[in-house]
Structures are given as structure tokens and as C-alpha cells.
């Protein structure tokens, strides 16, 4: 594991080290003690939220996601920060990785001490136990957004770069001619090229593919599914990509 992604082990029934912090009140105003967290990396679950954080989240409209692994380090899925918090407080997290927390969740305030509970959410967590299904053997679900990202938004016939709205899922062997709707038989095509090809084969149109389709690996699929992945998590995933991956 690279230097930017530190791994921490946790004991059963314990939360990750430094996950819980205290927040005391002075003269009726909240005084923040966890100065290492940038306000744009925090999420509100109670009444208080930094104004800068609120503004950034209103612009993004994209929830933060935690990368879930099994205990051996094999990725399983993306989960919400709230789901990750549940695993942290119930002690089902075996270890976690990340230089800085992905988010800071604020709980209730103790009426006697005036201390508010704060839980730091790591960007990567490994849950106890091992998946019963080997996800390396599973074919990722095919969707247009993932297909367009796999192909880097490039039309496989003319080579132009297009937005999602201007791309189509083009079947290399048309479905009307027994072509299957699978990763290996589809590519991104602009609407013009798709219309020109129609239900013909490339050989019949004297056309050639600019790149070959392929089935994404488990790590590639997680990158294709994720949006606004934090830099250190993206680096961890790309380090696991197959040699020659189009996403590396």
C-alpha cells in the first residue's frame, strides 16, 4: 500500500483509532477541535454544518461514497457514509485505509458534559468476513454511462469525443443479426455514425473500429461506477488495474 493510503487495524467492537472526537461548547457557540478536517470534507447529520461545506454540497449534489472491501482487500462496492458509520459503530470493520477522513459525522450532544460525538469516516473500509461470491468472476452490469466512460467518450468509428447525450450504445454485430447485448459486442458511437452503420456489419460498410471492446475488470468497474472519486482512493484503485487498461 502506498504512502498516501495508510492502513489501520481495528479490534472487534472497536471503532477505528481517532474516529470519535469531542466537541465542546463555549459561551453557547460550538468550538471545533478536529482541525485536520477541511470543511468541504464534512457531512451534516445533525443541526450543525459549516457554511463552506453547505455551499460546496449544494453545487455538487453528489453524495460522498466509501469504498467497501472484504477482509482480504478485494473491493465489493461503494457505500454511503451513513452505511459506513453503522459498520464502524457496530465493530464490523476489520481495517481501514486513508490519510484523511472522507467525512465527519456529528452526533448528539451530551446534556451533562456538553460534548458532541464526532465520527470520522475513512475513505476505504474492509469488513470482517469474506465474500461468498468471487466478484472477479462476475461480469459487470452493462449500462450506457459506464460504457461511455470505458470508451473515454470516443466514437469507435469516427474518433470524435462526445458528451453522454450525443453518444449511443452501438452493437458491432447488430441485435437483428443475432448480436448480443454484451460488453464485448458494444461500443460507443455518435448518433451520426450509428445511423450510417444501421444494422449492417462493419465489413459490409468498409468501416473499421478505432479500438476494440472489452469486459471491464472488477477494479475498472468500480472506477466506472464511481463519481467524484477522491484522489487517494482513485490512486489505490488504478494501482490494481490490469496492464494496458484504458482507464489507467
> pLDDT of 19-75, one tens digit each?
333 333 333 333 232 322 333 333 333 323 333 344 344 444 567 789 999 988 888
Given its phi and psi angles, is residue 73 left (phi above 0), alpha (psi -120 to 50 degrees) or beta?
Answer: left
pLDDT at 55: 38
Contacts of 32 (CB under 8 A, 6+ apart): 23
Q: Which residues of the chain have pLDDT under 50?
A: 1-4, 12-60
pLDDT at 111: 85
Instruction: List Cα–Cα distances, 76 to 62, 130, 131, 132, 241, in angstroms.
Output: 20, 10, 8, 11, 15
Domains and CATH numbers, the chain: 7-135 (no CATH), 144-205 (1.10.30.50)
pTM more than 0.85: no
Q: What is the pLDDT of residue 198?
A: 94
pLDDT in the model for residue 33: 27
Q: How far apart are CA 205 and CA 202, in angstroms?
A: 5
d(CA 11, CA 146): 37
Amino acid at each position: 500500500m502506498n504512502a498516501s493510503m495508510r492502513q489501520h487495524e481495528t479490534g472487534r467492537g472497536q471503532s477505528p483509532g481517532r474516529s470519535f472526537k469531542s466537541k465542546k461548547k463555549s459561551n453557547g457557540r460550538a468550538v471545533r477541535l478536529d482541525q485536520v478536517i477541511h470543511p468541504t470534507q464534512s457531512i451534516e447529520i445533525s443541526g450543525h454544518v459549516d457554511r463552506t461545506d453547505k455551499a460546496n454540497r449544494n453545487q455538487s449534489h453528489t453524495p460522498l461514497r466509501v469504498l467497501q472491501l472484504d477482509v482480504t482487500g478485494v473491493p465489493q462496492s461503494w457505500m454511503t457514509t451513513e452505511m459506513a458509520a453503522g459498520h464502524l459503530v457496530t465493530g464490523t470493520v476489520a481495517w481501514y485505509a486513508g490519510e484523511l477522513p472522507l467525512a465527519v459525522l456529528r452526533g448528539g450532544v451530551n446534556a451533562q458534559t456538553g460534548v458532541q460525538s464526532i465520527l470520522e469516516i475513512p475513505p476505504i473500509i474492509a469488513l470482517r468476513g469474506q465474500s461468498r461470491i468471487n466478484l472477479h468472476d462476475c461480469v459487470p452490469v452493462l449500462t450506457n454511462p459506464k460504457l461511455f466512460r470505458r470508451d473515454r467518450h470516443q466514437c469507435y468509428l469516427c474518433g470524435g469525443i462526445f458528451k453522454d447525450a450525443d453518444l449511443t450504445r452501438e452493437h458491432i454485430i447488430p441485435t437483428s443479426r443475432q448480436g448480443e447485448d454484451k460488453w464485448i459486442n458494444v461500443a460507443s458511437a455518435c448518433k451520426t455514425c450509428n445511423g450510417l452503420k444501421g444494422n449492417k456489419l462493419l465489413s459490409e460498410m468498409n468501416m473499421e473500429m478505432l479500438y476494440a471492446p472489452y469486459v471491464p475488470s472488477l477494479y475498472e468497474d468500480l472506477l466506472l461506477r464511481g463519481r467524484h472519486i477522491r484522489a487517494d482512493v482513485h490512486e489505490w484503485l488504478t494501482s490494481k488495474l490490469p496492464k494496458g487498461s484504458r482507464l489507467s
